[in-house]
Copies of this chain bind each other. A is one copy, B any other.
Amino acid sequence: MVQKIFPDAAAALDGLLFDGMTIVAGGFGLCGIPETLIDGLLAAGTTGITAISNNAGVDDFGLGLLLRNRQIVRMISSYVGENKEFERQYLAGELELEFCPQGTLAERMRAGGAGIAGFYTRTGVGTLLAEGKELKEFDGETYVLETGLTADLAIVKAWRADRFGNLMFRKTARNFNPNAATAGRVTVAEVEEFVDHLKPDHVHTPAIFVQRMILATRNEKRIEQRTITRDAA
């Protein structure tokens, strides 16, 4: 019986890492990011990473930690604000950046995971982000060709999992995680809670997409914009 649950991040990442690799990560802002596995990557010290992630974290959290440690050389993202070190490295020419509209990025992950080599979207047509890309007309409207993305490794944060690798995500911590999980040649999930059984109709990411899992030991879940209602509680 194949054992998918590993004792910790180091064990789960063992044998999967190499300099110059591509890693796709789940998360939106600081929500639903694989904090424990990012620590594992930090400890492993892998360099030359191309990171596919909607955001780049903040200076001292999320992918920002790998940026500060100079482990990432290239990012494919939709929005990289809120990170001074990112800005410094980018302006110094130390970091390569490919901007991708957010929906196109999510769809590129899904496409890569689903064996779709490319797809036509209206998003970005007529903008800088469509320059140099192939255009095509469908029913009189212009679409741009975007390609599927895969990665050597996917790291995701899940809420609940069974031992087989079926995953559920929690609320908006789902975001890019299910899409990233499909795009990794190997997918490692950190899980807040292992359970004996998930209802078959409730599974978000079927076990086929998950090769390794660990218990998430870092669940800081930092909040970027702590907005409170004005009404009395």
Contact = CB atoms under 8 A, between A and B. Distances in A.
A202 B107 CA distance: 22
Given A117-B122, A117-B143, A118-B143, 16 more contacts: A107-B116, A111-B119, A115-B121, A115-B122, A116-B121, A117-B120, A117-B121, A117-B136, A117-B138, A117-B139, A118-B119, A119-B120, A138-B147, A168-B201, A169-B201, A174-B201
Contacts of A168: 201
The count of identical subunits is 2
A200 interface: yes
A170 interface: yes
Nearest to A199: B202
A124 to B, nearest CB: 12
18 contacts: A107-B116, A111-B119, A115-B121, A115-B122, A116-B119, A117-B121, A117-B136, A117-B141, A117-B143, A118-B136, A118-B138, A119-B119, A138-B147, A168-B201, A169-B201, A171-B201, A174-B201, A201-B204
